[in-house]
Amino acid sequence: MIANRVAVIGGGYAGFAAAVTLATAGRAVTVFEAAGTLGGRARRVEAYSVMVDNGQHILLGAYAQTLALIRTVHGAGAEHELLDRRPLCLNEPGVFRLSTPALPAPLHLAVALLFARGWSWADRQATIAFVRSLRRERFHCDPALTVGTLIDGQPAAVIRALWEPLCLAALNTPVAAASATLFLNVLAASFGAHARDSDLLLPRVDLSSLFPEPAAAYVADRGGDIRKSVMVNGIAARPDRVILRIGYSEEEFDAAVLAVGPHQLTHLLSNGERDPRAILALVQVAAFAYEPIVTAYLQYSTPLELEDPMQKLDGAPGQWVFDRGQLDGPSGLAAVVISTDLPSMHMGHSALAQSIDAQLRRLQPSLQAPTWMQVIAERRATYACIAGLARPAPGMIAPRLSLAGDYTDPRFPATLEAATRSGVAAAQALLQASG
């Protein structure tokens, strides 16, 4: 099979990682994206004439694939203008502070834990011993283990200040159900090799400009075609081609990468794909549960007085606040994030925004009432990264169909890095299969 003309269905980070890989290999790529803006679950939205994102995102130094792709589409030196990189710092003023010093790994983590503010001496010793035991086990555990069981017996103050927030931020799943294997994979990627891997990278540009849009330009420059606001309604794989159903017409390609969200896969394969690999993938995604993430944007008329652009909150109701003014955004613009299905998720948007405003004004009493507030709730932000969950792998699910998407990466939980890794893997599998 020679796959010269390849359709990529889904213009999120996974779809564009696949498209860039295929275009680099000389394939004629057509990307179909149902929405008018590229980026999927990581995209630009407009709020009160200000460009924000559908959700505040954090990247890690360990996101090797995503960073490599950003360099490919923007050029080598662009990373520093696009991303604010700083050493890991978890700071809840007056309660807890942990920051990694400029030392080689794993010393940087040991010193950070040793000097963490807000913990007793016994808390710090117990945490250092626990991390050491995780390293001894090479960050491996029984796949059925939950994060809750993994951290059982750790000091309550450490669970509250460190393990629970890290698990929510990384897996968007409560510790009681979250997969310890995926959690340990994130810890291993962040703390297992180089100190820079645990750096926090906060976008200085919107998430569509960070990768999907320059990736679209990269693909177009190599003869590709980007079709926005075009929904593919079905796909049928034949021995010699794939047929895409679009509205009332059909288009033929040599092969396709399916890079839609897990809950969108069934619709795409509704023509009854009979390959056992495709059937297994459909059965597996049917068992997924999903977790929401809410981001509230609040514009104040005066600057926020945060020490760092990202600060932990007390959870009543916001969990993290980001100062977009420190990230090349408008001065006084706060982005407040709440992960997973908490009671606050079920409040009306206006009540939730007011409650977050009150929370921020407890933190900084000098703030006046915001000039505008916008709550964006992503109900299916990520699949729930539950312990023991069976998931499809990226790659061929039928002779001419390759699967990508954040939910297919075996190593990372549902993140930008999982998405880009899966897209590259799906494209490579297709290139290998097509010779």
Ligand X SMILES: Cc1cc2nc3c(=O)[nH]c(=O)nc-3n(C[C@H](O)[C@H](O)[C@H](O)COP(=O)(O)OP(=O)(O)OC[C@H]3O[C@@H](n4cnc5c(N)ncnc54)[C@H](O)[C@@H]3O)c2cc1C
Which residues of the chain form contacts with ligand X (CB under 6 A)?
Answer: 9-15, 32-35, 40-42, 54-55, 57-58, 231-232, 259-261, 264, 268, 293, 295, 378, 381-382, 405-406, 414-419
**CA-to-CA distance for 116 and 123, rounded, in angstroms?**
10
Cβ 409 to ligand X shortest distance, Å: 9
Nearer to ligand X, 126 or 419 (CB): 419
Nearer to ligand X, 338 or 367 (CB): 338
Nearer to ligand X, 226 or 259 (CB): 259
- Contacts with 155 (C-beta within 8 Å, 6 or more apart), sequence order: 119, 120, 122, 123, 126, 127
**C-alpha to C-alpha distances, 165 to 32, 62, 120, 144, 319, nearest whole angstrom:** 36, 18, 19, 21, 8
Angle between helices 180-191 and 121-136 in degrees, nearest 10: 100
Nearer to ligand X, 127 or 422 (CB): 422
Cβ 111 to ligand X shortest distance, Å: 26
Give the tokens for residue 406. 């954040």
- Give me the residue label for tokens 């796959």: 3
Cβ 379 to ligand X shortest distance, Å: 9
Nearer to ligand X, 33 or 197 (CB): 33
- Contacts with 80 (C-beta within 8 Å, 6 or more apart), sequence order: none
Number of H helices, E strands in the chain: 15, 21
- Contacts with 299 (C-beta within 8 Å, 6 or more apart), sequence order: 48, 50, 330, 332, 333, 334, 370, 371, 372, 373
Give the tokens for residue 302. 């005066």
Q: How many residues does the chain have?
A: 435
Nearer to ligand X, 311 or 382 (CB): 382
Cβ 133 to ligand X shortest distance, Å: 27
Cβ 382 to ligand X shortest distance, Å: 5
DSSP notation for 124-181: HHHHHHHHHHHHHTTT---TT-BHHHHTTTS-HHHIIIIIHHHHHHHHSS-TTTBBHH
In angstroms, the first-to-last Cα distance of the chain is 7
Nearer to ligand X, 123 or 199 (CB): 199
Nearer to ligand X, 299 or 422 (CB): 422
Alpha carbons within 13 angstroms on the beta-carbon side of residue 165 total 22
CB 180 within 8 A of CB 141: yes
Nearer to ligand X, 113 or 226 (CB): 226
Cβ 152 to ligand X shortest distance, Å: 27
What's the maximum distance between 2 C-alpha atoms anywhere in the chain?
68
| Helix/strand/coil for 196 | helix
**CA-to-CA distance for 10 and 6, rounded, in angstroms?**
13
Cβ 69 to ligand X shortest distance, Å: 12
Cβ 401 to ligand X shortest distance, Å: 14
Cβ 63 to ligand X shortest distance, Å: 7
